[in-house]
A and B are shown apart, each in its own frame.
Chain A
């Protein structure tokens, strides 16, 4: 059996939906951020797979993934800085308690 595009996409879909589920149900903000990492990873896999199977002579998807990894690193750094700051202010990471900004 030849491994096809679909097989890879199934893996990435499972990863994506796990991320979505985690984002929706986790209470801890850091855990939500971890779920976001899963979603982003799923997207990265898709880029690489599409590049490899559909346009093997080019490197667009490859580099997109590369830059996405860099940007994810940046995003994570800032998000964690914010979360730590929030924790310092309200002594909790429970996302249900972070609703002061609606006022």
Chain B
């Protein structure tokens, strides 16, 4: 059993993610919750890097950390009031929530450990997916290429911008 550098990094990332995931949902302060979420997202990006999907990791950091978390922080500050900052957790809900979450986890763990995954032999963890391939696949029109979803996503984002503005504007 040799402990490689990779294993150490993975272990650190795993603990990092686990701790901050749990902290995100257990802290009483909403601002802290958002901050812990940011850490979880960084951890996720790290996992993508570990898998060799560097582009995906970069997107994760840019979109989540740079966009979505900022959006959260702004909206938290916009809805800032004494009641909302420390809404905390309702006592009566903790037990059913905990039970159902653990039950779900139990089932999933059961499936993970009983199912026999067959990893491909050619899986080379460290091989990076190069940028050129991603670019061609993303905007190519052929088989296993994604120009149509890409366009549709663009339209969806436009619709969301308009819808968000429309919903949130003052009447």
Contacts and interface: CB of A to CB of B under 8 A. Distances in A.
Q: Do chains A and B touch in the complex (CB under 8 A)?
A: yes
A25 to B, nearest CB: 4
A100 B169 CA distance: 22
A24 interface: yes
A58 B144 CA distance: 9
The secondary structure that dominates the B interface is helix
Given A60-B144, A70-B63, A71-B156, A11 B84 contact: no
A7 B160 contact: no
A93 B87 contact: yes
Q: Determine the interface band of chain A, counting residues with CB < 8 A from chain B.
A: 35 or more
B67 A92 contact: no
Q: Determine the interface band of chain B, counting residues with CB < 8 A from chain A.
A: 35 or more
B18 A53 contact: no
A55 B53 contact: no
Interface in B148-164: 149-150, 153, 156-157, 159-161, 163-164
A98 interface: no
Given A22-B24, A24-B100, A83-B79, A54 B118 contact: yes
A44 B44 contact: yes
Contacts of B78: 84, 87
Enumerate the 7 nearest inter-chain pairs by beta-carbon distance, A residue then B residue, closest first: A22-B25, A24-B97, A81-B168, A21-B101, A81-B164, A74-B160, A18-B21
